[in-house]
Structure 1
Amino acid sequence: MIERDAFGEGQHRWNAHLLILARDYGFSLRACRPYRPKTKGKVERFNGYLKHSFITPLAASLKQLGLELDVDTANGQIGQWLNDIAHQRIHGTTDEKPQVLLEQERQRLQPLPVKSPTDSPLPALTRHQVIPTESLQHPLSVYDQLLGVAS
């Protein structure tokens, strides 16, 4: 969300690319109430887990080799981390492995729409973009910069 209540109460200004994704993939956007940890905290908690369990250790390992963590490297490592670590832990809220719940959910998911890469107005990530490791709580402009989106 770019601006809450930009066009009146409950009428928010959303990122244009997110609106396109929502339309193309058939989901609706819903804003969490501000300062309500019961909803917002559950959404944001994974960012901290991702940072401390994946990004920081990977960046540290690469730094020892004199390398920086970039988008290609993170993308190349994230699948194994998800399979071996994130999906195998016992989740604190559900008391189940996320992999088990994911398999159950996959049976209920609709197929993704068939689109060619040229149909998407979203830019592709460029090689060797450095991923910020100090925080995942950046203004939207930092994510746009990381993704190469022109402002």
Structure 2
Amino acid sequence: FFFQSLPSLKHNCLPSDRLSATMVQSLNAAALKTLTTLLLRPSLTVPHLSVPSVSCIDYASLRRHAGIRAIAFDKDNTLTAPYDELLHPLARNGLQEALATFGVENVAILSNSAGTLDDPGGKDADAIEKKLGIAVIRHQTKKPGGLEEVLSQ
């Protein structure tokens, strides 16, 4: 995770009181199924591209050359420090560029906690949407599964 090596985050490494009091994770069957696949085909674990932050991605090029029309970010270790609702400074420019390129209606967060059955009533999702200004996708199947569910929304 790219944020783990940032010394400026040491004060933010612990969950906030509000989120840590309610943070519960359920069994992720889709991840276990994917793990089995990866054990059988380890070449799938090699990243094709690695960047230090979302601010290093050329979103306009993705739209223009790859035909990408929307983007979903993970929250923890991508836009924020784990269990934090504040946008990390290193992610700020990247999120702004994604919003300018795709529009707010085509940029969202896909989390394995906020917006799932682990987030009763969507309280964490609502708080994150308010803080970051982008939608949190509500879904039942956790990543890496659930792509069909998300695309149908």
User: Could you tell me the TM-score, scaled by structure 1's length?
Assistant: 0.22
- TM-score with structure 2 setting the length: 0.22
Higher strand share: 2
Structure with larger RCO (C-alpha < 8 A, sep 6+): 2
Q: Which has the larger radius of gyration?
A: 1
